Amino acid sequence: AQTVTQSQPEMSVQEAETVTLSCTYDTSESNYYLFWYKQPPSRQMILVIRQEAYKQQNATENRFSVNFQKAAKSFSLKISDSQLGDTAMYFCAFLHYGGSQGNLIFGKGTKLSVKP
Amino acid sequence: DVKVTQSSRYLVKRTGEKVFLECVQDMDHENMFWYRQDPGLGLRLIYFSYDVKMKEKGDIPEGYSVSREKKERFSLILESASTNQTSMYLCASSFEGLPKQYFGPGTRLTVT
């Protein structure tokens, strides 16, 4: 069975600084996706960034980038130039590719606070 | 834009009541999911459906059932609500074979 571990329950960062959220996972599958989802306070969960396991290049989306280390089964999220709107719960998630149902396995989340 | 809506943002029910949580998506997605979100536990899958009238148990199906009579609608049913079912419930949907899931705003259910 796959597991996803986020070892940092809470983090804080000053506005405009850079912060890295950690995620490790365990799987015997070779084809999978990894995701970071963001859930702002009292708002909808949205996808931040996605990484296909077969791609060596790390995904980037504007100020968000990942450090994907497949051998180490590590998938960290880096947020550059942090903004107040980045304050949210962040969830790392795993999806086995090829499963038609596509159910995600989530970590327990990291609560990020961006301070002015 | 994909829209996933849930019937209530907040719900308060009494122990033993039958509770229905409704989820509707407008993008013709084949897959629909119900998750439960608790502090310190993340999201856990209750049930999912990959087609009309089809359902599969997730990680924590006990005490819940689901119904999918139409493609766009996926209902979560608590047959006899208990206090340990107080939680945030999130619905999501996705296309068959595509990885991205779209989430609804959530229903915060309190059972007293």
CATH number at residue A39: 2.60.40.10
Q: State the DSSP code for A41.
A: T
CB spacing of B41 vs A108 below 8 angstroms: yes
Give tens-digit pLDDT for B46-55.
999 998 988 9
- Per-residue pLDDT, A99: 54
CATH hierarchy code of domain B4-96: 2.60.40.10
Whether B50 sits inside 8 A of A100 (CB atoms) is yes
B61-110 tens-digit pLDDT: 999 999 999 999 999 999 999 999 999 999 999 988 788 899 999 999 99
Domain ranges of chain B: 4-96
* Chain B interface, best mutation among A4, A34, A44, by max B CB count within 10 A: A44
The alpha carbon of B98 is separated from its chain's Cα centroid by a whole number of angstroms, namely 20
Domain of residue A103, residue span: 3-115
The CA distances from residue B59 to A84, B4, B45, B62, B95, in Å, are: 35, 22, 5, 9, 21
- Residue B93 near chain A (CB below 8 Å): no
